[in-house]
Structure 1
C-alpha cells in the first residue's frame, strides 16, 4: 500500500498539470490574454513568394560537389618541401595501386552522405590511416568545413521549420538557422589521411584551394580550418614531460604505500586469528584499504540525516546520467534526428528543465551544515576562533581528490587513449587546467568564464565551499544570538531573491540556462562563451545561494518543530508531499517554454522564473524536511535510509569529480559516428555509471579516505578513527 501511494505521488502531478503546459508547434500562449505569435520566418517566406522572388540554388547537390573536389585530392603545391616529396611519393604509388598508398586513400571518404539529416562528422577509418608506417607514416586529420553562399542573398528568409517533399534540399543547408535544437547543416567535419610530413596548415591551404575550385563556380564559398590537435599519427600527440613523470612517480608511491599498508594489515589480522601479538600502526591504519573499506561500509540506521544523505546519493546517479547525456550529445552521430526531436519536444520534457540540477545538493548542504554545527556553536566554551579552524579543515579535506583530478587531467589522461577526437578533447581540458588550475585551489573558478574553467564540473566545489564559509558564520551568529542570526539569514535570502531578478531583467537574458544542442557543441569545442546566462547567472555565488540559505532556514524550522513536538499523521504527510511535488513539477516543467521557437521574449517572465526556478526546488525540500521531522513513519525515510545509498553518499564527492572526466574519456575514444537507439542509450548509461562508480571507489580508497584521515591526524591532533567525517 505504501508503495502504491509513493507511485501515485510521482504520477499524479504529471496527469493533473500536464494540460497546463501544452504548446502547439506554431502558436504559443505567453500570457492570460492568449496572444498568438506568428512564425516570423515563415511569414517572411510568404512575403517573398508574394513578390514573386525565387531563390537561386546550385544545380548540383552538395555531396556531388564534395566528390568532385575530393576524388583526386592530395596535399600538393605547398611550402613544406618534405610534405611535397612525401605527397609525390604517395601519388606515384597510388597510381600503381601500392598497398600502403591505397590504404591511405581508402581510409577517408569522398562522397559524403547524411548531409541533409545533420550527419556532420564524416570520419573515415582512423586506424587504417595511422597503420601505414612504410615508406611514409600516415597522418589522420579531421578538418572543419563551413559552407556559405558567395552571393549576398540571405537564404534564411526562405527557411521553414519543416520542409515538404518537393522543397529544394539546398534550403536546409544554405538557410540553416541555429535555434539551438538542431545540428549544423552547413558545417562538415571531414577526416583526411595525409603524409606525416604535411602539417595541419598544409592540409588547410590545399583543401581550401581545391574546394574553392569547385564550389565558387556554383556561387558557394567554404572556409576550411584544421587544428593541429586534430591531426594524429600512431605516436602520442602529447609530450612525456617532467610533469608526466613526476605525476607517475607520485601515483606509484601512493599505490605502493596503500598496498604495503593493506598487506601489513592482512598479516596483523591473521596473527590475531592465530592468537599472536600484533599491532597495526597509525600510518598503516590510515592507508589500509581494509580499514577504509570497513569505514565505508559502516551504517547507522538511526542517524536522522540518513534520509537526506540517501537522497543526495540518488540524485548523484541522475547527475552521472545527465553528464553522460551532455557529452554524448556533442559526439558524432550518424543519424542525429532522434536527438533533435528530443530537444524540440517541449511538452513535459523533464530533462530540459534540469538547469537547476545542483539546487537539491545546495539545499541539503545547508540543512546538514546547520544540523551539525548548531549544537557545537551553542556550547559555552565555543568562540569565534573555531570558525577559521573549521573552514580550513573543510577546505583541506576537499583538496586531495581535487588536486589529484587536476594532475590526472593535465599530465596522465591525455596519454590514456587515442582516436580522431581524443587529442582535441583531452587537450582542451589539459590546457585549461594548465592555465587556470590556481583558480580551483583559490576557490574562485566559478567566477571566471565557463570556457576557461579547469574541470568543468569543478565550479560546484568552489560554490559549495564559498557558501559553506557564509553558512558557518551565519550558524555561529544564530547560535549566539537568534535575533541577529535570523536577521542576517533573512537578508541573505532577500538578496538571493532580488539579485537574480535584477540581473536577468537588466541584461535581458533568458529565465534559464538553456542546455540545448548548441550549448553542448560550444561546451565541447570551448570556442566561445556558452551563454550570458551560464557565464553570469549559473555558477555565481551571489545568484545561486538561495537553496543553501533556505536549507539553513529549514534547519531552524525543523528545530522549532522538534521542540514543540508537532506531529502529522502518515496520511497527511503523503498527501501534502504529493501536492508539494505536483507544484514543484508544474513550476519545473514551465521552463520548457524557453525552448520554444518563434516565441517573443518577455523580460518579466524570464526575470521571475530565474527566481522561481530556484525557489521551487528549495520549498519542496523544505517541506520534505518538515514531513520527516513531524512524521514517525515517513515513506521517503524507508526508501532512502538504506545501507547502499549511504555508501554511495560517502563516495559522492569522488563520484562528482570523477564522473565527467570518465565520460569524456569514453566518448572521446570513438572512431566513427554512432546511432543512439534506446537499447544503446540504456547500455551506455549502465556502462558510464558502473565505470564512474568503480573509478570513484578507487579514488576514495586511495586518495579521499586516507588523506582525509591524515588531515584529521595532523590538523586536529586526534586519532584518525575518532574524528567524524561530516
Structure 2
C-alpha cells in the first residue's frame, strides 16, 4: 500500500514538472515573439485579431503535438546564425496553434511523419507546389518559404544482431522488433532504413536548422522509438520560388540553330519542286529537302535480310521497356518492397539481364558491315569508310548532347528535379568533347554524359578495328586471318579475365543498387562499358555476315525443313542465357562457372540471333518471318538510333518531375513505355530530317565531287599522254554501301 502511495506521489510530481516546463517554454516563446521585427509582429497581431480561436478541447491532440515540438526546439542550443530561423519557426508554430491560414498552409505541405517507409516508400516529398507557390508569395515576402530535401539514415543504437532463423525469414515475423526489420537488408534490395524527406521551412533557415527541425519531427513520429538514432544531412541546396532558372546564351543558341535548320529545310523543300539537278545549287537543295530525306526512310533493300528490320525495331522496344522499369524503380515509388521481391522472383529473371538486347545491336552492326564490304572486290578507302561511320554516329549524338546542355534543365521542376537533372547537365557540359571523340567510355567515365551513350564509342571502335583487320586480310590473307583469330579469342577471354582479377560477378545485373546510380558501379566501368570487354557479339555478327554473303540470300543451304526447329532452338538458347544470368542473384557463386558465363554469355546470345536470322532468311518460319518483314518496320527500324539516343531523356523527365511517389505497376509501365517509344520516334524523325540526313548527304556530295575531280585529272592525263595507262583510285571511286548507311540502330 505504501509503495502504491509513493508511485502516485511521484507521478503527480512528474506531471507538475512537465506542465511547469511547458509553461516556461510558452513564456520563452512570448519573449522570442516580442523580439521579432515589428512588421512581422504587426501582421501576426492582425491575424490573431481576425482569426477565431479554436477551443482547446476541440484541438487537444494537435496542440499537444505542437507543444512537444515547441518544447524540443526551445531546449536546443541554437547558434546566433540560427536564431532568425528559430524565431520564424516559433511564430509559425504559434500561428499554427491559432489556425492561421499562412501557417496551416505551410505545415500542410509537410509530411509530418514518414509514411510507407517499411514498404519501400523512400521518398517523403510532401507537397512541393503548396510550399513554394503560396497565393500571397508576391505580396507578403516576410512569409517566404523554401523547400529542402534531406537524406536520413535510421541507425539502431543497441548494436543487437539477431541470428537468422533458418526455417523462415525472421525479418517478417509479425511479433519481432521493427529495429531488426530496419537493420536487415537482403542483397540487391533497397535499404528500408534510408529515406529522403522534403520539408517546407522559412526562407532564412540554413541546412543545420532544417536538420534540427526534422530530428524533432522524427522523434515524435511512430518511428521515434527507443534505440533509433537518425543521421540527417541536408546536402542539396534548398529551392525557393525566386530561384527560377534564367535562360542563358546556350539556350538561345540551340533554338537559333534549330530555327535556322528548319528554315533552310523548308525553303529547300519548296525550291526542290522545280529543281533541274544540273547545278551544284540544285544538288544542295536536294540535300536539305524534307520530302527527299523522309522518302529515304521508306526504301527497303531486298537482299534477303528483311527480317532485320523487325528484329532491329523490337530490340529497341525491349531496351526502352527495360530502361523504363529501371529508372522508375530508381525514382519515387510507394511499393519498393514489392518490387524488390519481384526482382528476386521468377519475374525478375526476364528483366535484370536484359542488357543482352544491346548485344543484339552489336551483332546487327557487325553482320551488316560484313554483308556490305564483301560485295566489293577491292576495299574502298579505309579512311573514307571510318569518316562516314563517324558522321553517321556523331551528328545525332551531338544534337542530343546540345539539347541536354542547353534546354533540358528548363523542361521540368519538382522536389528531385534539380538534384537529378543538374548532375546530368553538368556532366554533359563538362565532358561533351569526350563523347564526340568517342572516348567517353574510357576517360572520366565516372562523369559520363548520358549514361547509355557508352554504346556509341563501342560500336565505333568495333567498326574501326574490324575494318582495319579486313583491310589487312585483303592485302595479306594469312596475316589478316591471324589477327582475326587473335581478336576473336581475346573477345571471349578478356571479359573472363577482367571479372576474375577484379572479383566481380559474371555479369552486370540491373538490380536496385545499379539502376539507382549506374556511375557508382565498379563493374559498370571495368567490364560493362569498355569496348575490349564487349567485342564478342560484334565478332559473331561479322562472321555471320561473311557466312550469309558466301552462301547468298537465296539460301544455297537447304534448311527449309529445319527452319522452324532452328528458330525455336535459337529463341530457346537466348532465353536460357538470359535466365541463367539472373540466377546468380540468389545462388552461391562458383568461380569456374562465373568465369565461363562471363566469357560466353554474350557470344552465345549473338549465336542465337544469328541462327534466328539464318532460319528466317534461308528457310520458312510461318508467322515469325511475315511479322518481322512487315513493311512498317522499315522506316521505324531506321529511326531506332535516334530512339536509343532520346528515350532515356523522356523517361527521366517523366520520373523526376514527380511530386509524390507512384505505385509501380506492370501495365502502367508498359503504357508509359509505349508513350516513350512514340515520342522518341517523333524526336528521332525530326533529328533525321534536320540534322542527320543533311549531314550524310553533304558528305556524299563531297565524296562525289572528289570522284569527279580525280576522274577529270585522269582523263586529262590520258588526253595529254595516250600511251599512259591509269587506274582511278578506289579511295574516291568507291563509297560506303547504303546498307552500312542504315546499319546502325
**Given the alignment of the two structures, is residue 590 of structure 1 paired with residue 543 of structure 2, yes or no?**
no
Q: Measured at CA, do residues 670 and 245 of structure 1 come closer, stay the same or move farther in structure 2, by a change above 3 Å?
A: same
Give runs of aligned pairs for residues 265-276 of structure 1, distance below 5 A: 265=271, 269=273
What is the alpha-carbon distance in structure 2 between the residues aligned to residue 499 and residue 68 of structure 1? Answer: 65
Q: Structure 2 CA distance, aligned partners of 1:310 and 1:680?
A: 25
Partner-residue secondary structure (3-state), 1:144: strand
Superposition deviation, residue 343 in structure 1: 0.3
Give the superposition deviation at 1:450: 5.2
Gaps of 5+ in 1: 1-65
Q: 1:509 to 1:278 in 2, by over 3 A?
A: closer
Q: How far off its partner does 1:128 sit? A: 0.9
Deviation, structure 1 residue 316: 0.9
For structure 1, which segment, 251-260 or 487-496, has the greater mean C-alpha deviation from structure 2 after superposition?
251-260
Correspondence for 1:105 among 104, 107, 120 = 107
**What's 2:295 paired with?**
294
**Structure 1 contact 400–703 (Cα < 8 Å) conserved:** yes
* 1:594-673 matched pairs, under 5 angstroms: 594-596=584-586, 599-628=587-616, 630-631=618-619, 636-673=624-661
Indicate how the Cα distance of structure 1 residues 464 and 649 shifts in structure 2: closer, same or farther if over 3 A, else same.
Answer: same
- Would the aligned equivalents of 2:499 and 2:598 in 1 still touch at CA under 8 Å? yes
Q: Which one of 379, 385, 389 corresponds to residue 390 of structure 1?
A: 385
Distance in 2, matches of 1:533 and 1:363, equals 22
Report the alpha carbon displacement of residue 589 of structure 1 after superposing the two structures with TM. Answer: 1.6
Is 1:553 paired with 2:554? Answer: no
Correspondence 1:254 to 2:261: yes
Count of residues paired in the alignment: 639
Structure 2 unaligned residues grouped into runs of 5+: 1-64, 708-734
| Cα distance per residue 1:479-504 (max 9 Å; x no partner) | 34443332221111111121112222
Kept in 2, the 8 Å contact 1:558–1:629? The answer is: no
For the residue of structure 1 that corresponds to 2:355, the secondary structure is helix
Whole-Å Cα distance in 1 between the matches of residues 634 and 217 of structure 2? 61
Q: Could you tell me how far apart the structure 1 residues matched to 2:121 and 2:67 are?
A: 20
Distance 1:286 1:74 in 2: 70
Q: How far, CA to CA, are the matches of 1:664 and 1:519 in structure 2?
A: 16
**Map of 2:315 onto structure 1:** 315
Change (3 A) 1:631 1:67: farther
Shift in CA distance, 90/283, structure 1 to aligned 2, threshold 3 Å: farther
What is the CA RMSD across the aligned residues, in angstroms? 3.5
The TM-score, its normalising length taken from structure 2, stands at 0.78
Tell me, in whole angstroms, the C-alpha distance in 1 between the residues paired with 2:736 and 2:556. 35
| CA distance, structure 1, for counterparts of residue 555 and residue 501 of structure 2 | 46
Once the two structures are TM-superposed, the CA of residue 250 in structure 1 deviates from its matched residue by 2.3
In the TM superposition, what is the alpha-carbon distance from 1:330 to its structure 2 partner? 0.9
How far off is 1:342 after superposition?
Answer: 1.6
Deviation at 1:552, TM superposition (A): 1.5
1:202 deviation in Å?
A: 4.2
Is the Cα–Cα contact under 8 Å of residues 567 and 630 in structure 1 kept in the other structure? yes
Q: Is the 8 A contact 1:69 1:210 kept in 2?
A: no
Deviations along 1:244-273, whole A, 9 cap, x unmatched? Answer: 3333322332333334334x24xx64x79x
Aligned with residue 227 of structure 1, among 235, 244, 253 = 235
Kept in 2: contact 1:156–1:175 (CA 8 A): no
Residues 615, 621 of structure 2: 8 Å contact kept: no
Distance 1:218 1:629, change over 3 A: closer
Shift of 1:201: 5.0
The 8 Å contact of residues 84 and 204 in structure 2, kept in 1 or not, is answered as yes
Please, which of 186, 204, 217 is the counterpart of residue 211 of structure 2?
204
- Assess, with a 3 A threshold, how the Cα gap between structure 1 residues 191 and 600 changes in structure 2: closer, same or farther: same
Determine the structure 2 residue equivalent to 1:188. Answer: 195
Q: How does 1:238-249 map to 2 (within 5 A)?
A: 238-249=245-256
Residue of structure 2 aligned with 1:578, choices 568, 573, 579: 568
- Which has more radius of gyration? 2
Structure 1 residue 632: Cα displacement: 7.2
Q: Output the CA distance in 1 between the equivalents of 2:210 and 2:254.
A: 35
Deviation at 1:312, TM superposition (A): 1.3
1:44-193 to 2 correspondences below 5 Å: 77=78, 79=81, 83=85, 86-87=88-89, 90-91=92-93, 93-132=95-134, 133=137, 134-135=140-141, 136-154=143-161, 161=169, 163-180=171-188, 182-193=189-200
**Residue 304 (str. 1) matches residue 311 (str. 2):** no
Deviation at 1:107, TM superposition (A): 0.6
Q: Is the 8 A contact 2:73 2:216 kept in 1?
A: no
Q: What is the TM-score normalised by the length of structure 1?
A: 0.80
Per the alignment, residue 726 of structure 2 pairs with none
Q: Does structure 2 retain, via aligned residues, the 8 Å contact 1:387–1:473?
A: yes
8 Å Cα contact 2:147/2:200 also seen in 1: yes
Match of 1:28 in 2: none
